[in-house]
Amino acid sequence: MNFYSLQLLKKLGFKKFFNIAVLSILASIFELFGIGSIGPFINIVNDPSSVSESKYLQYFIKNLNIETQNILLYFGLVLIFIFIFINIYKAGLFYLQTKIALNYSAKMSVSLFKKYLDNEYYFYLIRNSNELAKNIFSECQLIGNDIIKNALVILSQVIIAIFIISFCIYLNPALGLAMILFGVSYYLLIYGSLKKWLKKFGESQLYHSTNRWRVITESFNSIKEVKVFNFSKHLESFFLSETNKWTNNKISYALVVTLPRFLIEVIGVIFLVSLTLFLINFENEKNVISFIAVYSFAILRLFPVLQQIYMAFTSLKGAQSRIKLIYEDLNNKNLSNSKKNKININLNNSIEFKNINYKYQKGNFQLKNISIKINTGEIFGITGQSGSGKSSFIDLLLGLLIPQSGKIYIDNKEVNLKDYTSYKNNFSYVPQDVFIFADTLKNNLTFDFENNLPDETLLKKTIKKSNLNNFIDNLDKGLETPMHDKGIDISGGQKQRIGIARAIYSDRKITIFDESTSSLDSETELEIMKQIEENKKDKIFVIISHKKSTLKFCDKIAFFKNGEIERVSPYNEKDSYFKNLSD
């Protein structure tokens, strides 16, 4: 077991392992008892007179009033019951092991989801969201199986093996030792020579399964482009080739883990036949048969146990890269906001950026020397070419990205936004592309998923202000209408109005619109802008736009160019910049 598997095991708690260990020891004792009772049974079959030689059997016969000729029948029945009991017990043990493993998978996927969600926004810029989904969904499931179940298998099977081995050594020390030495070194040799291959197998399995997952999610997320540009053939063949590689890899793995079993079975039989032939020449024939019977049974039990231990180890080795990945994600402290100041930070009058600089980890884009002050009561416009850094600036304003240098003042007091989780509560935000959740329209407007007790008067006002009345009146179920998971059912403009309604309903101090009126007809847009103007007295509105009709309403406008603010000035009809803009 490697470091990562052990660490993940530790999280489960050792008490459960202790319980399973105790139950496994009991299983071995029962198993041994079962094996041990086969010898006497064969003895009686072989020589019924031997009953009289056994004191114990005589004792039972006398006390239970059993007739001597029926002893075989009774003994047989007892043997059957012993094995029924052993197997019911083992089934129960298997159930417990499976339960622990699957519960662990479930627990791990829930904590991983939480861990990912609690990360800073920055985390999502550097990680692929499809991969995160796959880790939560499929890797955790596999790991539960790989580590927990295999560790339990190793634990219980090693105990069983020790019992069987001790029994064989007790029967005949030299023979027992020789057998165990052979069995163990056989599997160690195979495992040792496959170690490197198993690691590579694990890495390539992870690689191909990530690719398979990625192509599926990307296909469905871009289904319109796929249809229009007609590249489904390319996606299909990529998926096919990745699936083939993944499957072939798995077939090789299945062979590698199973083949040793066939060989060792043959070797076991050769060993037994030679042993029988050898012994029969030296020993009393009667003793030999029961000895061989017990030995064959022990060997037939021991080799599958060794095989299981071997398979558990190979499976752990094969899963190593996956285990490492999940372990690192679960334990990564840098990316989560664990130590945040719980103090509320309320913005009352203004927010100011002074000489703020920000550079993305990837790429060369930089926001340079951003200095800007936004006051309550203002509609603050932001404009500039595509790629000039407007959305990046908004991410800094929202506290989603943390600047590398410069100062931020709230109500003229310097603050380090990194220290406050509650800072974001000052904002509502309407993004460029509004996301619709697979829930009712009402919950999509209020985000009140849990209580479902929205403020009805505020909701009514919101619907009016965001011009959604007509849209809702035309729906059979009105506000209770379920929305499609990706909002395919509704138009771009309707989506934007839902986004705007969310912002109005949440009633925060600062509202940010990132080109949120681009899909609206001019009449609707005008009405919404008028609403904003009426409500601006004790609020701040920050609006990114390229449209004259929107920028007209702004008290100040910041002009972005190549990551810098060129100037901040009020709207002016005659300004040459606006001449080139559309209405």
Contact of 148 with 5, CB cutoff 8 Å: no
| Region binding ligand ATP by CB under 6 A among candidate stretches 326-334, 380-388, 459-467, 496-504 | 380-388
389 binds ligand ATP (CB under 6 A): yes
| Region binding ligand ATP by CB under 6 A among candidate stretches 327-335, 355-363, 482-490, 568-576 | 355-363
Which residues have a Cβ under 8 Å from the Cβ of 217 and sit 6 or more positions away? 130, 133
Backbone angles phi and psi of 575, in degrees to 5:
-55, 130
C-beta of 369 vs 391, nearer to Mg ion: 391
C-beta of 54 vs 391, nearer to Mg ion: 391
Nearest alpha carbon to residue 427 among 345, 370, 528: 345
387 binds ligand ATP (CB under 6 A): yes
Contact of 146 with 205, CB cutoff 8 Å: no
C-beta of 143 vs 551, nearer to ligand ATP: 551
The partner in contact with residue 125, picked from Mg ion, ligand ATP, none with C-beta cut-offs of 5 to 8 angstroms by kind, is ligand ATP
C-beta of 172 vs 562, nearer to ligand ATP: 562
Which residues have a Cβ under 8 Å from the Cβ of 557 and sit 6 or more positions away? 380, 381, 382, 383, 551, 568, 569, 570, 571
In the complex, minimum distance from the CB of residue 228 to Mg ion, in angstroms, rounded to a whole number: 24
C-beta of 230 vs 386, nearer to ligand ATP: 386
| Region binding ligand ATP by CB under 6 A among candidate stretches 98-106, 346-354, 385-393, 402-410 | 385-393
484-492's contacts with Cβ under 8 Å and 24+ in sequence apart are 484/436, 484/438, 485/436, 485/437, 485/438, 486/436, 487/434, 487/435, 487/436, 490/436, 491/519, 492/519
In the complex, minimum distance from the CB of residue 191 to Mg ion, in angstroms, rounded to a whole number: 55
In the complex, minimum distance from the CB of residue 245 to ligand ATP, in angstroms, rounded to a whole number: 31
- Collapsing DSSP states into helix, strand and coil, what is residue 351? strand
C-beta of 392 vs 428, nearer to ligand ATP: 392
In the complex, minimum distance from the CB of residue 394 to Mg ion, in angstroms, rounded to a whole number: 8
Backbone angles phi and psi of 62, in degrees to 5:
-65, -50
Among 360, 471, 577, 578, binds ligand ATP (CB under 6 A): 360
Separation in Å, CA 517 to CA 473, 546, 571: 22, 10, 18
In the complex, minimum distance from the CB of residue 143 to ligand ATP, in angstroms, rounded to a whole number: 29
The partner in contact with residue 392, picked from Mg ion, ligand ATP, none with C-beta cut-offs of 5 to 8 angstroms by kind, is ligand ATP
Alpha-carbon distance of 144 to 111, in angstroms, equals 13
Count of helix runs (H) and strand runs (E) in the chain: 21, 10
Alpha-carbon distance of 212 to 134, in angstroms, equals 10
C-beta of 391 vs 421, nearer to Mg ion: 391
How many residues line the site for ligand ATP (CB under 6 A)?
A: 12
Q: What does the radius of gyration of the chain's CA atoms come to, in whole angstroms? A: 36
Contacting residues toward Mg ion, per CB under 5 A: 391
Both tokens of 142, joined, read 């596999």
C-beta of 363 vs 470, nearer to ligand ATP: 363
391 binds ligand ATP (CB under 6 A): yes
The partner in contact with residue 574, picked from Mg ion, ligand ATP, none with C-beta cut-offs of 5 to 8 angstroms by kind, is none
471 residue type, one letter: F
Both tokens of 7, joined, read 């660490």
Restricted to residues 121-140, the positions that interact with ligand ATP (CB under 6 A) are 125
Among 17, 94, 197, 365, binds ligand ATP (CB under 6 A): 365
The partner in contact with residue 518, picked from ligand ATP, Mg ion, none with C-beta cut-offs of 5 to 8 angstroms by kind, is none
The partner in contact with residue 364, picked from Mg ion, ligand ATP, none with C-beta cut-offs of 5 to 8 angstroms by kind, is none
The partner in contact with residue 573, picked from Mg ion, ligand ATP, none with C-beta cut-offs of 5 to 8 angstroms by kind, is none
The partner in contact with residue 124, picked from Mg ion, ligand ATP, none with C-beta cut-offs of 5 to 8 angstroms by kind, is none
386 binds ligand ATP (CB under 6 A): yes
- DSSP per residue over 283-336, as a string? S-HHHHHHHHHHHHHHHHHHHHHHHHHHHHHHHHHHTHHHHHHHHHHHH--TTB
Among 363, 456, 470, 534, binds ligand ATP (CB under 6 A): 363
Among 233, 333, 362, 537, binds ligand ATP (CB under 6 A): 362
Among 388, 462, 511, 545, binds ligand ATP (CB under 6 A): 388
C-beta of 45 vs 372, nearer to ligand ATP: 372
The partner in contact with residue 28, picked from Mg ion, ligand ATP, none with C-beta cut-offs of 5 to 8 angstroms by kind, is none
In the complex, minimum distance from the CB of residue 236 to ligand ATP, in angstroms, rounded to a whole number: 30
C-beta of 143 vs 558, nearer to ligand ATP: 558
**Which letter does DSSP use for residue 556 in this model?**
E
Both tokens of 81, joined, read 């019951």
552-559's contacts with Cβ under 8 Å and 24+ in sequence apart are 553/379, 553/381, 553/529, 554/379, 554/380, 554/381, 555/378, 555/379, 555/380, 556/378, 556/380, 556/381, 557/380, 557/381, 557/382, 557/383, 558/372, 558/380, 558/381, 558/382, 558/383, 559/383, 559/384
392 binds ligand ATP (CB under 6 A): yes
- DSSP per residue over 384-435, as a string? E-TTSSHHHHHHHHTTSS--SEEEEEETTEEE-GGGBSGGGGGEEEE-SS--
238 binds ligand ATP (CB under 6 A): no
119 binds ligand ATP (CB under 6 A): no
Site residues for ligand ATP per CB under 6 A:
125, 360, 362-363, 365, 386-392
